[in-house]
């Protein structure tokens, strides 16, 4: 949908699904409780629909988990200053897509880094 440059930080999301079977004999693992992790909304939907159809599944629950992944993010502002804790900050962009704009606080001036989306 959007063309992002290299070096983008963002949220990594997945869902942990817990299936409670009527008995361990119906479960593929042989245990009455089965825990599965899915990484896409499509996988989650397929799993929930299958759980609803299966009469041997007594209950199912799912929870969203997420963590901030900045392993590929840029470590320098466009002017070459290293982004160190206390010398840089961030705020949500006003575009509403969900990415952050990093602020470089080198010296007394505030410089906004390039937006990630051309619409910003």
pTM above 0.75, yes or no: no
Domain boundary among 25, 44, 67: 67
Whether residues 57 and 95 share a domain: the answer is no
Whether residues 17 and 58 share a domain: the answer is yes
DSSP strands (E only) in the chain: 10-21, 33-38, 57-69, 88-92, 100-104, 111-112
Whether residues 60 and 79 share a domain: the answer is no
Residues of the chain with pLDDT under 70: 1-11, 68-74, 78, 84-89, 91-103, 106-120
Please report the pLDDT score of residue 57 as a whole number: 95
Q: Which domain holds residue 15?
A: 11-67
Residue 92: CB atoms within 10 Å: 11
Whether residues 89 and 57 share a domain: the answer is no
Tell whether 5 is covered by a domain. no
Whether residues 108 and 61 share a domain: the answer is no
């Amino acid at each position: 949908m959007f063309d992002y440059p290299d070096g983008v930080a963002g949220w990594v999301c997945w869902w942990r699904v817990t299936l409670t079977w009527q008995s361990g004999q119906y479960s593929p693992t042989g245990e009455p409780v089965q825990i599965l992790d899915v990484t896409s909304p499509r996988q989650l939907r397929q799993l929930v629909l299958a759980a609803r159809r299966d009469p041997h599944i007594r209950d199912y629950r799912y929870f969203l988990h997420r963590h901030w992944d900045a392993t590929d993010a840029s470590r320098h502002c466009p002017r070459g200053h290293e982004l160190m804790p206390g010398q840089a900050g961030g705020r949500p962009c006003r575009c509403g897509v969900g990415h952050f704009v990093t602020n470089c606080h080198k010296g007394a001036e505030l410089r906004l880094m390039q937006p990630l989306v051309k619409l910003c």
